[in-house]
Amino acid sequence: MGANTHCFLGPVEFLERANKKLPFFPSVEGEDLLINQAFNISFFINQKSFSNNPKINPRGFDFTTWYQRLAPTKNADWGALGIQELLRLSHFSPTTLSWMIGAVTYFWKRTTNNFHLPCGVIGMSLLDTATITGLPISPPDCIPDMQPELQYNVTLTNSYSDFITHNMGEEGTDVTDNEHVAFLFYRLNAIIFCSRSIQMSKLFLPLATLLHEGKALNLAKLLLGHISRSLVNSTIVSTTIV
Q: What does DSSP say about strands 120-122 and 108-109: parallel, antiparallel, or unpaired? A: unpaired
pTM (2 decimals)? 0.69
Question: Residue 205: left if φ>0, alpha if ψ -120 to 50, beta else—which one?
Answer: alpha
In a domain, 96, yes or no: yes
Count how many domains the chain has: 1
pLDDT at 1 (0 to 100): 41
Cα separation, 172 vs 157, in Å, equals 24
Structural domain includes residue 6 = no
8 belongs to a structural domain: no
Q: What pLDDT digit, counting tens, does each position of 86-96 carry?
A: 888 777 666 66
Please tell me the distance from the alpha carbon of residue 88 to that of residue 110, in angstroms, as a whole number: 32
Q: By residue range, what is the domain housing residue 225? A: 15-241
> Is residue 19 domain-resident?
yes
Residue at 2 is within a domain: no
Whether 90 maps to a domain, the answer reads yes
In a domain, 57, yes or no: yes
Each residue's pLDDT tens digit, 114-165: 888 888 888 888 988 888 888 998 888 888 788 888 899 998 876 777 888 8
Question: Does 7 map to a domain?
Answer: no
